[in-house]
Chain A
């Protein structure tokens, strides 16, 4: 049934396109062509692939899905392919945080996709998909930036409001700055039953959180020459924010071992007051079957740091075409199809954030009758305006792996913030030197 609907929808968009000048080119005719593809798997991502059949019907080409894997497993697989010289396929799922690692594998899409099509995407997403002047991926409707989730009831409690004002001298309201988050977290915390906030504590997650806090404090991760610059004063301020929360026991003691799953489950258990988290959890938090705080969840644009800048570490999924692909036009047509308005509507209707301006409007319009969804979408739409990708170096993940143990050491009190950042910067510099980037 859903296939049928998708088919009708695809037919409709084909008709709609017939009137435009570009329509002659997309999706085009590729009779007898087979496109080999490696796609990200998992239930959140696979609904879209039902539309591949539509594209096959429209173009006469065939898609041969070589693999469907989890994000990290796919990354391993693509690296293995690069290492063994096996880039024999055409289309691959990609991610803005991983893309800089494979600089030579993917082709420049701006030569293959009409300009007016590219203009339909949110400009910051296109910017984050462009590496060294090459548009390496077309973003799909799987855009991630974090906004602030909070328990509404905490901010409606008169006794709490009064106590807070007496202590901190300003009104208790959902926070606008990270300083306020720190105050409120300390205020709400009542370990071991209740905590003010929490943060992801390991791997790329903590490094990403530190990175965005650094930007919000006015610092930069790599300077204009590509040298690590995060051991600045702004860096120390950024890291101290995490350290002080941990010291004040305003976050669960286990937070340095938390990854996204622990954070989501923790907030849903109703034991966390405010939580910076990804859009993927929005419906989970408000579903009585999965969350204790369903109906009590507020969402707000992520707070700003002392420099006035907001945090906004972001990433998005997309599709790329390999440089070695025999029929790039067919491959480009496929990835255009998987990221066009109808495809994005299909994905966005299940919750993930779109990357096309028109689909943002459509999604917010769709949510008119659902107050929570509307709140979520408008918060994330604002959040998206502050979004920025990770530094575009192929060594980002490797640097993350070297830096995060140092960040943890500072948070746990093994080192001072300055010492930890200096050590981390030394390691990052060595990595960049080894990679020939410095």
Chain B
């Protein structure tokens, strides 16, 4: 530590400067503009409406809008279900791959395969797969004799929710898997050996040695995903676009329809701030978990 203290105090700030500059230019400045517009009845097709300040009217409308809050709740549920499923599956996948003795390169590449598909494509693919009439899934179920019904995957509210979860989990589990795998690989080997010598069962070794070490990586992945989960927008937009009859409406489909198709940018931006607030909650939550996990393995914070 002594060597570090002698450095000029501005070094870390110099190191961080490029990041701060880029983010300020691309995120903060536009964000201030959109924040302002959320207090106006701004319509894209009527630019003059940008200068008509209406205070909190947009926010007031949203607070009493049942459809908005239903979508809000559904988004929270989707995030919770999808993120947990992704973490569990990602952990399992990473451990399977880590244990493999041969073909590591290939396995790791395959593991990341879904990340290479553009979300638009994933949306179309799963929409066609879940199509009730000619979709792969109903076809398979009918061929195997498991059902003689055409299951309306994307129509029934609950089924459609799960169909979206499946598409989302398929496309994003890789991120968890690769990060957790990186954590497993970075892990020192002696504690595991020590645990084995001490006669721990595999489960105990996992629970008390491996997991605490991997946890920060899992939380990093979790936080990053909860920041980034709006990516799922493209998938949902194509699969159901919030429908039918708003049964799968999520914040993002609602906001983007309001913003561009309805051209009511002011209102949409106000909604977006609720979405941002939600993201911040999720992020801060996982962030604290991460900090706790780090303390546990003795990393300095």
Q: Do chains A and B touch in the complex (CB under 8 A)?
A: yes
Chain A positions within 8 Å of B, measured between CB atoms, are 75-76, 79-80, 82-85, 101-102, 191-192, 195, 198, 201-203, 252-254, 256-257, 262, 265-266, 269, 271, 394, 397-398, 401, 404-406, 408-409, 411-412, 414, 434-435
Name the contact of B245 in the complex, choosing from A75, A102, A394, A412 (C-beta under 8 A).
Answer: A412
Could you give 5 example pairs across A and B, Cβ below 8 Å?
A82-B44, A83-B47, A254-B154, A256-B244, A411-B244
Name the contact of A254 in the complex, choosing from B47, B133, B265 (C-beta under 8 A).
Answer: B133
With A254-B133, A408-B244, A414-B245 known to touch, is A191 a contact of B150 (CB < 8 Å)? Answer: yes
B142 at the interface (CB under 8 A from A): yes
With A201-B244, A203-B241, A401-B257 known to touch, is A254 a contact of B155 (CB < 8 Å)? Answer: yes
Closest 8 CB pairs of A and B: A192-B150, A254-B132, A253-B152, A256-B244, A408-B245, A79-B44, A408-B244, A409-B245
B246 at the interface (CB under 8 A from A): yes
Tell me, in angstroms, the Cα distance from A9 to B148 when the chains sit together. Answer: 57
Name the contact of A257 in the complex, choosing from B43, B138, B243, B260 (C-beta under 8 A).
Answer: B243
Name the contact of A252 in the complex, choosing from B44, B132, B160, B243 (C-beta under 8 A).
Answer: B132
With A79-B260, A397-B261 known to touch, is A257 a contact of B44 (CB < 8 Å)? Answer: no
Q: Which A residues are in CB contact (< 8 Å) with B134?
A: 265-266, 269, 271
Q: Majority SS of interface residues in chain B?
A: loop
B263 at the interface (CB under 8 A from A): yes
Tell me, in angstroms, the Cα distance from A203 to B237 when the chains sit together. Answer: 11
A271/B133 in contact, CB under 8 A: yes
B131 at the interface (CB under 8 A from A): yes
**Residues 241 to 296 of chain B near chain A (Cβ within 8 Å):** 241, 243-246, 257, 260-265
Q: Which of A82, A83, A411 has the most CB of B within 10 A?
A: A83
Nearest-Cβ distance from residue B136 to partner chain A, whole angstroms: 12
A254/B152 in contact, CB under 8 A: yes
Q: Which A residues are in CB contact (< 8 Å) with B150?
A: 191-192, 252-254
Q: Which A residues are in CB contact (< 8 Å) with B80?
A: none
Nearest-Cβ distance from residue A97 to partner chain B, whole angstroms: 12
Tell me, in angstroms, the Cα distance from A85 to B263 when the chains sit together. Answer: 15
Nearest-Cβ distance from residue A197 to partner chain B, whole angstroms: 12
B45 at the interface (CB under 8 A from A): yes
Tell me, in angstroms, the Cα distance from A265 to B152 when the chains sit together. Answer: 17
List the count of A-B residue pairs having beta carbons below 8 Å apart. 105
Chain B interface: which size bin?
35 or more
B149 at the interface (CB under 8 A from A): yes
Q: Which A residues are in CB contact (< 8 Å) with B45?
A: 79, 82-83, 101-102, 394
Nearest-Cβ distance from residue B158 to partner chain A, whole angstroms: 13
Q: Per-residue 0/1 for B27-48: is the Cβ within 8 Å of any A Cβ (1 yes, 0 no)?
A: 0000000000000011111010
Tell me, in angstroms, the Cα distance from A271 to B134 when the chains sit together. Answer: 8
Sample of 9 more A-B contacts, CB < 8 Å, known A254-B155, A271-B133: A76-B260, A253-B151, A269-B133, A398-B261, A401-B257, A405-B243, A408-B243, A409-B245, A435-B43
Q: Per-residue 0/1 for B108-140: is the Cβ within 8 Å of any A Cβ (1 yes, 0 no)?
A: 000000000000000000011001111000100
Smallest Cβ-Cβ distance to B264: which chain A residue: A398
Q: Which B residues are in CB contact (< 8 Å) with A408?
A: 243-246
B149/A262 in contact, CB under 8 A: no
Name the contact of B133 in the complex, choosing from A195, A398, A412 (C-beta under 8 A).
Answer: A195
A257/B263 in contact, CB under 8 A: no
B153 at the interface (CB under 8 A from A): yes
Tell me, in angstroms, the Cα distance from A414 to B157 when the chains sit together. Answer: 12
Name the contact of A83 in the complex, choosing from B142, B154, B265 (C-beta under 8 A).
Answer: B265
Nearest-Cβ distance from residue B68 to partner chain A, whole angstroms: 13
Tell me, in angstroms, the Cα distance from A101 to B41 when the chains sit together. Answer: 17
Smallest Cβ-Cβ distance to A202: which chain B residue: B243
A405/B245 in contact, CB under 8 A: yes
Nearest-Cβ distance from residue B157 to partner chain A, whole angstroms: 9
**Residues 217 to 252 of chain B near chain A (Cβ within 8 Å):** 240-241, 243-246
Smallest Cβ-Cβ distance to B130: which chain A residue: A254
A257/B257 in contact, CB under 8 A: no
Nearest-Cβ distance from residue B197 to partner chain A, whole angstroms: 58
Name the contact of A202 in the complex, choosing from B50, B244, B264 (C-beta under 8 A).
Answer: B244
Smallest Cβ-Cβ distance to B153: which chain A residue: A254
Q: Which B residues are in CB contact (< 8 Å) with A75?
A: 260
B131/A254 in contact, CB under 8 A: yes
Nearest-Cβ distance from residue B62 to partner chain A, whole angstroms: 15
